[in-house]
A and B are shown apart, each in its own frame.
Chain A
């Protein structure tokens, strides 16, 4: 069975020629990952994508008609970058636009995976929440403050929709591996091979040389092994690159943790099948007794205004801690009784300074944008003119690269939930629907 990965992330682009090469043979399934938590909590909170709409549309408008023409179900994971209901709606609108423009008709399956605060609190009360790190235990308040929580679905909802005959499957937050493992498991292939293959495929041609997230990757799965070969003839898979890929972004290179269990690569064997193809055997899957879904939630921490600046004067750089302390005291005193306690946080993000210039970003997060603006202006002006013993550069301490010096960044989100929930069914958070487009 042949599975094709469009690229490492929907909207990053790919060579159309590579896709044509991939489709010059029978393709059973096409997949693409569309999201990641790498860019941080903002996107889940804001409902926005970290990819451009036009770039996502470009990637889809070439791939969608091809997948439909070849009757290869097209699976899209973590729509819109973060996979919440809003993100799914954003990609769905793009798909509908393309369908209209190209007069395409198909069965669209959708999996939403948002969960309510009540769902998480019930799990917490029942002792069914597991911490992923001791640094972040889950407290009720963190759940209650959350503005959006999603669950990372595994293969189960995708398999359900494949069974219902979906031509296109648009997923909310999904494990990267689910996109490529689901069709294999659905067709009865070994889960160890399916998940290992999927873990490599989800990054597109990242496992090839020359490396590229923005190109098409191909996998062939058989009963006892799978093979990987990039579609683009300028690239090749090597044992070293493919094996090294399981290091990337993983806590452990031997174990891939999935909602259904763990994929163990301890005894995996890698072999150069031909110049551009790597063959992999012996990756083993162990089903977990208790199934878990990862929950990702964010809370709005306020509104941000920043002011970037540079200090070149070594005397000023040497006194920077003293200046920051003076400014902090001043701002506290100035706003005391006027702005509510705890209504803003000031962070001085510095870099360099030793034997070079010092970069500073004055970072203010306020309960409102007005508070952030006001505090940032106070910090900036006080810092600019802050005096110290023996100061010679009395005209100003900061070089501002921009006018205006202060920049509105807008709403700020932080991760509030990043935990595992023990579940009775891996479908329990999935809202599955199928419709004709």
Chain B
């Protein structure tokens, strides 16, 4: 089975302000974007990051064949327990989700 990262041209994570983490998945084609959009569930994201499904937003941004995923950071940026101030290395659990 292929992993999410295998479908994407760009897959990145970044803070959207210190309280939120956001993931951008950009695809080569609209078809690939739709294929993934139909199969990527909040449940899978919830499991990968141990975050409540109700707090996860998955938004299709078809203008550039992309999907955005956003949820609140558990450790806000710069908290003593935080390991990634900019949040730009948090994409791997998402990348490994099987599609």
A and B interact? yes
Can you list 19 A-B pairs, Cβ within 8 angstroms, ordered by A? A38-B86, A40-B18, A40-B78, A41-B77, A133-B19, A133-B76, A136-B19, A247-B26, A247-B66, A253-B61, A253-B66, A268-B63, A270-B63, A301-B80, A351-B83, A414-B80, A415-B79, A418-B17, A418-B18
> Which of B33-41, B42-50, B67-75, B90-98 is the interface stretch?
B67-75
- Chain A interface size band reads 35 or more
In chain A, positions 398-437 with a C-beta closer than 8 Å to chain B are 412-415, 418
| Residue contact B59 to A133, C-beta cutoff 8 Å | no
| Residue contact B72 to A135, C-beta cutoff 8 Å | yes
- Indicate whether B64 reaches chain A with its CB closer than 8 angstroms: yes
Partner of A132, one of B17, B66, B81: B17
When distances are taken between beta carbons in the complex, the residues of chain B under 8 Å from A240 are 64
| Residue contact B68 to A252, C-beta cutoff 8 Å | yes
| Residue contact A251 to B76, C-beta cutoff 8 Å | no
B residues adjacent to A (C-beta < 8 A) = 14-20, 22, 24, 26, 55, 57, 59, 61, 63-64, 66, 68, 70, 72-74, 76-81, 83, 85-86
A415 with B80, Cβ < 8 A, contacts A240-B64, A247-B66 known: no
| Residue contact B19 to A250, C-beta cutoff 8 Å | no
| Residue contact B72 to A254, C-beta cutoff 8 Å | no
When distances are taken between beta carbons in the complex, the residues of chain A under 8 Å from B86 are 38-39
A249 with B22, Cβ < 8 A, contacts A254-B61, A418-B17 known: yes
* Least CB separation from B24: chain A residue: A247
| Residue contact A251 to B20, C-beta cutoff 8 Å | yes
| Residue contact B61 to A133, C-beta cutoff 8 Å | no
Shortest Cβ distance from residue B36 to the other chain A in the assembled complex, whole angstroms: 16
- Indicate whether A124 reaches chain B with its CB closer than 8 angstroms: no
Shortest Cβ distance from residue B91 to the other chain A in the assembled complex, whole angstroms: 14
In the complex, A253→B63 CA distance in Å?
A: 10
In the complex, A133→B85 CA distance in Å?
A: 17
| Residue contact A253 to B68, C-beta cutoff 8 Å | yes
* Least CB separation from B61: chain A residue: A253
When distances are taken between beta carbons in the complex, the residues of chain B under 8 Å from A414 are 76, 78-80
| Residue contact A248 to B24, C-beta cutoff 8 Å | yes
- Indicate whether A37 reaches chain B with its CB closer than 8 angstroms: yes
| Residue contact A247 to B68, C-beta cutoff 8 Å | yes
| Residue contact A37 to B18, C-beta cutoff 8 Å | yes
In the complex, A233→B8 CA distance in Å?
A: 30
Map CB proximity to B onto A314-355 as digits: 1 under 8 Å, 0 otherwise.
000000000000000000000000000000010101010000
Shortest Cβ distance from residue B96 to the other chain A in the assembled complex, whole angstroms: 14
In the complex, A338→B24 CA distance in Å?
A: 50
| Residue contact A135 to B73, C-beta cutoff 8 Å | yes
When distances are taken between beta carbons in the complex, the residues of chain B under 8 Å from A136 are 19, 76
